[in-house]
Structure 1
Amino acid sequence: MRHHPFGNIFQTTAMYNVYNNTKNYSPIKLCAINEVTGEINGVLLGVTMREMKGLLGKGILGDFSTRSIISGGPLVSGNSIDTLSEMIFEYDKKVQKRSLYTEIRNLHEVKSLLNNVNNYTYEDHLNFLIDLAVSEEDLWRQIHKSKRKNINRATKAGVVVEEINNKKMIPVFYELLKETYKRVKVPLSDMTLFESAFDQLVPKNMARFFLAKNEDTYIGCRVVLTYNNWIHDWYAGALDNALSLYPNDCLVWHILKWGTENNYKVFDFGGAGKPDVEYGPREFKRRFGGSLVNYGRYSHIHSPVKIKITDIGFQLYKKCSL
C-alpha cells in the first residue's frame, strides 16, 4: 500500500525479501482482501527474529530469544479498526507458539487505532524527526554548536564519508557494527541481514550504506532506508579508538545534506528510547535539532514464563560478552 498516508519501507515486498534472506529471520505477511471487489484493504508485514546464540554450544538461549517485530504497520484502508484487529489476531495465531512477544513499532501517531487492539499494552517511546525540506544552511544552523564543532574538527582531521557501491565492502561495514554492539552488550543480527538489504534494496534506491574513513582506516558506518521521501536511520557503528574523530557526527551530517539535496522530506532517527529510562544515544540525536515525538510502541507477551527465563539468560549473555 505505497499510497497509504503511513506507507513505509517496513511494509513492502522488498523488505519481506530482505527478511526472507536473513539467517534466523522468518517474515510473515498478511493481506486483508475485500471479497466483493478484490481490493487490498490492509497489509501487515512482521518478522520473527532469533538473535541470541546458545551458550556453550547449546541452543538454550536461542530457543528462548525469538521475538516478533512489526514495524510501521499494520496498514489498513480507511483506518478500519475491524480490519486492523482481525489482521493482528491472525498474526498472533501464527507467532504465539514460537515468539516470546510481539512488538509493534509505530512510525506515526496511531494511538486512535491501536488502543482498540485487545491484549496489547502501550508504552511511551521517543524519536526525533528532522525536517529536510529546508536549505543546507538552515539545516546546519539548527544543529547544536557542539556538534558543528565536532564535524568541523573531523573534516580538518581528514575524515571523509564514502558510499558503499560494492557488496564486497559489507564485511568491513559489519565489523564496525560488531564492535559497537559488543561495546553496548546488545546482540547483533547476522551479516546476511545487511547483505540481503544491499542486494534487495540498494538497486531499488531503498537503502544507502556509508563508511567514514580516516587515512587508510574505516572508522565508522551507517545504513539508512529510503522510501516515499522519508529517510530512516537503521544501523550505525564506529571504532572505539576512533570516537575522538567523531565519525558518527560526520556520517549523520553527510546523510542529512544528501537528503536535502535529493529532495527528501524527513529524516527519522530510528528511536530515542523510553522517556523515563536513561538512553545515551538520545542526547546525541537531540543535538541535531529534530522535533521530539512520542509515537510509542505496543507489545503483547505470548509466553510470560519464557520471558522470565530469557531475562536471566540475557544477563548471562552480557557477562559472557565481557
Structure 2
Amino acid sequence: MAIRLVTYEHSETLPLLPGKNVFHSVGLFRILESTPGYSPFMLVAYEGERPIGKLLCVIRKSRFISKCVIYDCGEYFNTNMRHDLIFDELLSYLTIRNKDNFFVIEFRNLTEPLFGYRYFRQNGYFPVRRLRVINSIHHSTIDKWMGASRKRQIQQGLRNGAVMGIADNKHQVCAFFKMLKNYYTSKVFKYLPAMDFFTNILEQTEDDSEIGKIFTISYNDKIIGGSCCLFSDDTVYLLFSGGMRKSYPHLYPGVLAVWNAMLYSREKGYSHFEFIDAGLPFKKYGYRDFILRFGGKQLSTRRWYRLKWSWLNRIMEKVYV
C-alpha cells in the first residue's frame, strides 16, 4: 500500500499519535509553537488511515537567515514496513517542498549514524561528523567513572553552601533564564531560545508524563547556575546548562547544574544521560572536555545538511563526501 503524507502546521489539528521520542512529540510541538522565533510543523506518514511515522521539523528564524532543524530521523510505529523506506518518503517530500524556503535544512543528533545514508545522498545532503557523549546512569553508583577532581568539585560546592533544586514556578524560571542568558552572551555559536520555551516546559506534559525539567543551583536564595533537560523514553537529554563560575568559583555552579540533573534522572529510573552537542571530532572543544569528566562515553555520529544555494551545496558535498 502506498504511503500518504500529511503536513500539520498547528498542534491542535494533529491526530492522536503514539511514540516515545520527545523530539517528535506533540508536547514539544506545542512548546515550540508558543516560543517566539520558532515555527514547527509535523510530517505524518499514513498507511491507509493508520499513522505509521512522524517527523517534527523546526523552523528557526533569525534576523538574517531561517533554517529547518530536525532532531534524529523521525519515529515509526504500527507497521511492518521498513523504517528507512518510510523515512525516504518523508525526506524526499520535505526536501522537494522546502529546498528553496530555508537557507539550510539540518538533521542532527542521529541515534543511528548510518540510518538513511543512501536517501540523504540521493536528496543532495552532505554529512559532517560530530560526537556524542552519553553517560550510563542505571548503575548503583553513577559517579563510578567520574574523575576524582570532578567528585571533589561537587563535594566542595555543596559543602560551601550551594543548594541543588528544581524550578517549579515562573519566578524561578525567569531567574534561571536571566543567568543562562548572561552565560550564553559570550558563546558566539550557541543559540538560546526565548524565555517562553522554558516557561512552557513547566506546563507541558505528554501522556501525563513530564517532557522536561529545569534544574537550579542557588546560593543565599539567588540562582547562580542551572540546566534544562528533556526526557525521551529511557534517555535524558541535556539541552542547556551554565553557571556563574567567575562570580562563585568555589561553588562550582556549572558542575553542580549537570550533577543535579543526573541525580534526578537516575532517581526517576532513566538509563542514559546524553549531552546534546559534543562538537566536532577533529577540533578541540572545551565544553566536551568539561562533560567528559562526568565519566561519559564518547561516540561518533554525523549531521546532515542541505543548503539553499545549489552551487555552495555542491562545493560542500565535494569537501565532506
TM-score by length of 1: 0.83
Give, as a single letter, the amino acid of the residue that structure 1 aligns with 2:163.
V
**Which one of 132, 139, 142 corresponds to residue 127 of structure 1?**
132
Q: Which residue of 2 aligns with 1:190?
A: 194
Residue by residue, what CA displacement relative to the aligned partner does 1:27-48 show, whole Å, maximum 9, x if unpaired? 010011012xx22222110101
Preserved contact between residue 237 and residue 274 of structure 2 (Cα < 8 Å): yes
**Which one of 82, 91, 100 corresponds to residue 103 of structure 2?**
100
Preserved contact between residue 224 and residue 232 of structure 1 (Cα < 8 Å): yes
User: Does residue 1:296 correspond to 2:306, yes or no?
Assistant: no
**Which one of 88, 94, 112 corresponds to residue 109 of structure 1?**
112
Matches within 5 A, 1:99-178: 99-117=102-120, 118=122, 119-135=124-140, 138-178=141-181
1:67 CA displacement: 1.1
Equivalent residue pairs, number:
289
Q: Which has the higher helix share?
A: 1
1:93 CA displacement: 3.7
Give, as a single letter, the amino acid of the residue that structure 1 aligns with 2:298.
L
> Hey, what's the Cα distance between the residues in 2 that align with 1:88 and 1:259?
33
1:70 CA displacement: 0.1
Higher deviation after alignment, 40-49 or 233-242: 233-242
In structure 2, list runs of 5 or more residues that go unmatched.
1-16, 314-321
Preserved contact between residue 113 and residue 302 of structure 2 (Cα < 8 Å): no
Cα-Cα RMSD: 2.2
Q: Which residue of 2 aligns with 1:205?
A: 210
> Hey, what's the Cα distance between the residues in 1 that align with 2:138 and 2:153?
24
Q: Which residue of 2 aligns with 1:89?
A: 92
Preserved contact between residue 126 and residue 292 of structure 1 (Cα < 8 Å): yes
Change (3 A) 1:201 1:211: same
User: Does residue 1:71 correspond to 2:74, yes or no?
Assistant: no
> Hey, what's the Cα distance between the residues in 2 that align with 1:244 and 1:306?
48
Give, as a single letter, the amino acid of the residue that structure 1 aligns with 2:230.
L
Preserved contact between residue 43 and residue 90 of structure 2 (Cα < 8 Å): yes
Q: Which residue of 1 aligns with 2:277?
A: 271
Preserved contact between residue 179 and residue 238 of structure 1 (Cα < 8 Å): no
> Hey, what's the Cα distance between the residues in 2 that align with 1:130 and 1:11?
23
In structure 1, list runs of 5 or more residues that go unmatched.
52-61, 308-322
1:73 CA displacement: 2.4
Change (3 A) 1:85 1:152: same
> Hey, what's the Cα distance between the residues in 2 that align with 1:297 and 1:24?
22
1:144 CA displacement: 0.7
Change (3 A) 1:243 1:9: farther
Q: Which residue of 2 aligns with 1:24?
A: 37
> Hey, what's the Cα distance between the residues in 2 that align with 1:196 and 1:225?
12
Give, as a single letter, the amino acid of the residue that structure 2 aligns with 1:175.
K
**Which one of 230, 236, 239 corresponds to residue 225 of structure 1?**
230
Preserved contact between residue 238 and residue 273 of structure 2 (Cα < 8 Å): yes
> Hey, what's the Cα distance between the residues in 2 that align with 1:26 and 1:305?
27
